[in-house]
Chain A
Amino acid sequence: MATSLGRQFLLDLYERMVRIRVFEDEVKFLFLEGSMPGTIHQCQGQEATAVGVCSALAPNDFITSTFRGHGHALAKGLTMPELLFELFGASTGCCRGKGGSMHVGNMDKGMVPGIAIVAGGVPLAAGMGLAFKMQKSGQVVACFFGDGAVAEGAFHEGVNLAAIWSLPVVLVCENNLYGASTRIDKVMKVPSVAARAASYGIRGETVDGNDVLAVYEAAGQAVAECREGKGPVLLELLTYRRTGHSRRDPCHYQNASVGPSAIRSIVSRHRYWNGTMSLNRSWPGFARRSLPNSKRRYKRPGGSRCLRPMIF
Chain B
Amino acid sequence: MRRLSIAEALREAIAQEMERDPAVFCMGEDIAVPGGWGGAFTVTLGLEKKFPDRMLDTPIAELGFFGAAVGAAMMGMRPIVDVQYGDFLFLAMDQIVNNAAKMRYMSGGKVKVPLVMRAPIGATGRGSQHAQSMERYFTGVPGLKVVAVSDAYDAKGILKSAVRDDNPVLMFEHKLLYGSKGARAEGGAVDATADVPDEDYTAPLDRAAVRREGSDVTVLAWLLMRHYSQQAADQLTSEGINAEVIDVRSLSPIDYETIGRSVAKTGRVVIVEEGPKTGGVSAEIAAGIGERFGGSLRAPVARVASPDVPVPFAPVLENAYRPDVGRIVEAVQRVMV
Taking Cβ atoms with an 8 Å cutoff, the residues of A that contact B are: 62, 93-100, 103, 105-107, 112-113, 115, 117, 120, 122-132, 134-135, 153-154, 156-158, 160-161, 164-165
Cross-chain contact B107 with A99 (CB below 8 angstroms): yes
* Given contact pairs A122-B67, A161-B61, A131 touches B106 in the complex (Cβ within 8 A): no
Most buried by B among A96, A120, A134: A134
Q: In the assembled complex, how far is the CB of residue B309 from the closest CB belonging to chain A, in whole angstroms?
A: 29
Cross-chain contact A125 with B71 (CB below 8 angstroms): yes
B14-31: which have CB < 8 Å to A? 25
Q: Does B74 contact A (CB under 8 A)?
A: yes
Q: In the assembled complex, how far is the CB of residue A159 from the closest CB belonging to chain B, in whole angstroms?
A: 9
Cα distance, A310 to B71, chains bound together (Å): 37
B220-268: which have CB < 8 Å to A? none
Q: In the assembled complex, how far is the CB of residue A114 from the closest CB belonging to chain B, in whole angstroms?
A: 9
By a CB distance below 8 angstroms, the chain B residues around A103 are 106-107
Cross-chain contact A97 with B108 (CB below 8 angstroms): yes
Cross-chain contact A161 with B106 (CB below 8 angstroms): no
| Cβ-defined partner of B77 (8 Å) among A112, A120, A131 | A131
Cross-chain contact A95 with B107 (CB below 8 angstroms): yes
Cross-chain contact B94 with A120 (CB below 8 angstroms): yes
Cross-chain contact A99 with B106 (CB below 8 angstroms): yes
Cross-chain contact B64 with A157 (CB below 8 angstroms): yes
Cα distance, A97 to B105, chains bound together (Å): 10
Cross-chain contact B61 with A157 (CB below 8 angstroms): yes
Q: Which residue of B has the minimal Cβ distance to A98? A: B108
- Report B94-127 CB contacts with A as 1/0, cut-off 8 Å: 1100110001011111110000000000000000
Cross-chain contact B98 with A120 (CB below 8 angstroms): yes
Q: In the assembled complex, how far is the CB of residue A243 from the closest CB belonging to chain B, in whole angstroms?
A: 24
Q: Which residue of B has the minimal Cβ distance to A97? A: B108
Cα distance, A99 to B99, chains bound together (Å): 12
| Cβ-defined partner of A161 (8 Å) among B68, B79, B98 | B68
Cα distance, A98 to B53, chains bound together (Å): 37
By a CB distance below 8 angstroms, the chain B residues around A99 are 106-108
* Given contact pairs A94-B108, A95-B108, A128-B75, A154 touches B98 in the complex (Cβ within 8 A): no
Cα distance, A132 to B65, chains bound together (Å): 16
Q: In the assembled complex, how far is the CB of residue A131 from the closest CB belonging to chain B, in whole angstroms?
A: 4
- Report B67-104 CB contacts with A as 1/0, cut-off 8 Å: 11111111111010000000000000011001100010
Please classify the interface of chain A as helix (H, G, I), strand (E, B), loop, or mixed, using the class held by over half of its residues: helix
12 sample A-B contacts, Cβ–Cβ < 8 Å, listed by A number: A96-B109, A97-B108, A98-B109, A100-B106, A103-B106, A103-B107, A120-B99, A127-B70, A127-B71, A154-B67, A158-B64, A164-B59
Q: Which residue of A has the minimal Cβ distance to B92? A: A123
Cross-chain contact B68 with A123 (CB below 8 angstroms): yes
Cross-chain contact B111 with A113 (CB below 8 angstroms): yes
Q: In the assembled complex, how far is the CB of residue A115 from the closest CB belonging to chain B, in whole angstroms?
A: 7
By a CB distance below 8 angstroms, the chain A residues around B75 are 62, 127-128, 131-132, 135
Cross-chain contact B68 with A130 (CB below 8 angstroms): yes
Q: In the assembled complex, how far is the CB of residue B69 from the closest CB belonging to chain A, in whole angstroms?
A: 6
Q: Does B172 contact A (CB under 8 A)?
A: no
Q: In the assembled complex, how far is the CB of residue A32 from the closest CB belonging to chain B, in whole angstroms?
A: 25
Cross-chain contact B59 with A160 (CB below 8 angstroms): yes
By a CB distance below 8 angstroms, the chain A residues around B58 are 161
By a CB distance below 8 angstroms, the chain B residues around A164 are 59
Cross-chain contact B108 with A161 (CB below 8 angstroms): no
Q: Does B66 contact A (CB under 8 A)?
A: yes
Q: In the assembled complex, how far is the CB of residue A83 from the closest CB belonging to chain B, in whole angstroms?
A: 13
Cα distance, A117 to B66, chains bound together (Å): 15
Q: Does B63 contact A (CB under 8 A)?
A: yes
Cα distance, A115 to B72, chains bound together (Å): 16
Q: Given contact pairs A124-B99, A157-B63, enumerate 15 new A-B contacts (beta carbons under 8 Å).
A: A95-B106, A98-B105, A98-B108, A103-B107, A115-B98, A120-B67, A124-B71, A126-B71, A129-B71, A131-B74, A131-B76, A134-B25, A135-B75, A154-B63, A161-B64
Cα distance, A128 to B77, chains bound together (Å): 9
Q: In the assembled complex, how far is the CB of residue B182 from the closest CB belonging to chain A, in whole angstroms?
A: 31
By a CB distance below 8 angstroms, the chain A residues around B76 are 131, 135
Cross-chain contact B111 with A123 (CB below 8 angstroms): no
Q: Which residue of A has the minimal Cβ distance to B65? A: A161
Q: In the assembled complex, how far is the CB of residue B79 from the closest CB belonging to chain A, in whole angstroms?
A: 8
Q: In the assembled complex, how far is the CB of residue A163 from the closest CB belonging to chain B, in whole angstroms?
A: 10
Q: Which residue of A has the minimal Cβ distance to B59? A: A160
Which 8 A-B pairs rank lowest in CB-CB distance, beginning with the nearest?
A123-B67, A127-B71, A157-B64, A96-B108, A127-B68, A131-B75, A124-B71, A157-B61
Cross-chain contact B106 with A98 (CB below 8 angstroms): yes
Cα distance, A123 to B74, chains bound together (Å): 12
Cross-chain contact B98 with A124 (CB below 8 angstroms): no
Q: In the assembled complex, how far is the CB of residue B232 from the closest CB belonging to chain A, in whole angstroms?
A: 44
* Given contact pairs A128-B71, A128-B75, A105 touches B107 in the complex (Cβ within 8 A): yes
By a CB distance below 8 angstroms, the chain B residues around A117 are 94, 98-99
Cα distance, A96 to B305, chains bound together (Å): 43
By a CB distance below 8 angstroms, the chain A residues around B54 are 134
Cross-chain contact B95 with A120 (CB below 8 angstroms): yes
Cross-chain contact A126 with B94 (CB below 8 angstroms): no
Q: Which residue of A has the minimal Cβ distance to B73? A: A127
By a CB distance below 8 angstroms, the chain B residues around A132 are 75
Q: In the assembled complex, how far is the CB of residue B287 from the closest CB belonging to chain A, in whole angstroms?
A: 28
* Given contact pairs A126-B68, A126-B71, A134 touches B111 in the complex (Cβ within 8 A): no
Q: In the assembled complex, how far is the CB of residue B60 from the closest CB belonging to chain A, in whole angstroms?
A: 9
Q: In the assembled complex, how far is the CB of residue A122 from the closest CB belonging to chain B, in whole angstroms?
A: 7
Cross-chain contact A124 with B74 (CB below 8 angstroms): yes
Cross-chain contact A124 with B110 (CB below 8 angstroms): no
Q: Which residue of B has the minimal Cβ distance to A102? A: B106
